[in-house]
Amino acid sequence: MSDLLRELNQVRRDGLPETTRKRTKAKVIAIVSANGGVGKSTVAAGLAKTLRRPGGRTIAIDLDPQNALSSHLGITRQVPGLIQLKEQDADWGAHRLPGFSDSECLPFGTGEMDDRHLLRQLMLEDSDWLNQHLASMNLSENDTVILDTPSGATVYSQQALDAADLVLVMTVADAASYLALDTMTQWLETTRRRGQRHRYVLNQRDDSRTFSRDMGVLFVRRLGADLIGTIRLDHQFNESLAYGRDLLQYAPESIGCHDILSLSGAVHALLFADTCSQQGTP
């Protein structure tokens, strides 16, 4: 990870000054993690379905080569994704697909290894690659973009961090994730841009197991107010994915839905508090 961080930091130093970068008006949320299997795509899809401002849209963009996000939003057909739309003049807006609960999704797409290599090279050479694509979508200040990323410090994750107003770090209640917190803190502080906020989400907490509950307490003590949400283990997430169902419609009373809605409310309050105050709304 340290070698990649040095490479990415060099790219940042060689790139455009932040003040000259063209940015989207939409709020951008990047979902990252140190380890795999922590439920990033599940949470990204959940927020895409529940986080919406009046008059705005929520667009989920998959930056993970596993290309799983679209399935979580009920999109099963194979369509061009950003791996096919990597050139700067590509029209991302025209390739958004409708998903569950009025969400929209731009998949990563499927391609050959050469396609991935070229995409990665474009990102390494241009630290503003994602920002420029987002700006070209002409989104409004009422729109929200959610970026699903691979685990660890990758060039895909770095592009997301460079674009994000809010970074949500996904973790689970186990020892490996707890031990990775220091690494995540170092990575995020190294890459933090002006005004960016970092928060943590504890996923898959199994209240039937004493160890999981105890680990949850450790995370709360360690992270304090930076822990913005906890999502309890709910097997209906996997069942709804397997059957192509929207959990919010299929099992709206489930603990998973309850916790996703709670997280969405906390994220909305954090991102849009200033705007709501200016408009005189709660």
Q: Among 130, 145, 81, 76, which residue's Cα sits nearest to residue 110? A: 81
| pLDDT grade for 13, boundaries at 50, 70 and 90 | very low
- Please give the model's pTM, rounded to 2 decimal places: 0.89
- d(C-alpha 128, C-alpha 122), whole Å: 10
- d(C-alpha 232, C-alpha 48), whole Å: 19
- d(C-alpha 79, C-alpha 178), whole Å: 38
Q: 3-class secondary structure for 1-53?
A: CHHHHHHHHHHHHHCCCHHHCCCCCCEEEEEECCCCCCCHHHHHHHHHHHCCC
Mean pLDDT of 229-235: 94
Mean pLDDT of 62-67: 96
| pLDDT grade for 209, boundaries at 50, 70 and 90 | very high
- Write the pLDDT tens digit of every residue in 119-153: 999 999 999 999 999 999 999 999 999 999 999 99
pLDDT on residue 272: 86
| pLDDT grade for 111, boundaries at 50, 70 and 90 | confident
| pLDDT grade for 4, boundaries at 50, 70 and 90 | low
Asked whether the predicted pLDDT for residue 17 surpasses 80, the reply is no
- d(C-alpha 255, C-alpha 243), whole Å: 19
pLDDT on residue 80: 82
Asked whether the predicted pLDDT for residue 225 surpasses 70, the reply is yes
| pLDDT grade for 271, boundaries at 50, 70 and 90 | very high
- Indicate which CATH number applies to the domain containing 121: 3.40.50.300
pLDDT on residue 5: 55
Cβ partners under 8 Å of residue 159, min gap 6: 63, 123, 127, 129, 130
| pLDDT grade for 282, boundaries at 50, 70 and 90 | very low
Mean pLDDT of 63-72: 95
| pLDDT grade for 6, boundaries at 50, 70 and 90 | low
Going from the C-alpha of 256 to that of each of 42, 46, 178, the distances in angstroms are 10, 10, 22
- The dihedral through the CA atoms of 36, 37, 39, 42 has a sign that is positive
- Write the pLDDT tens digit of every residue in 154-201: 999 999 999 999 999 999 999 999 999 999 988 898 888 888 999 999
User: What is the total count of domains within the chain?
Assistant: 1
Element (H, E) at 121: helix 113-125
The residue range of the domain holding 14 is: 2-279
| pLDDT grade for 277, boundaries at 50, 70 and 90 | very low
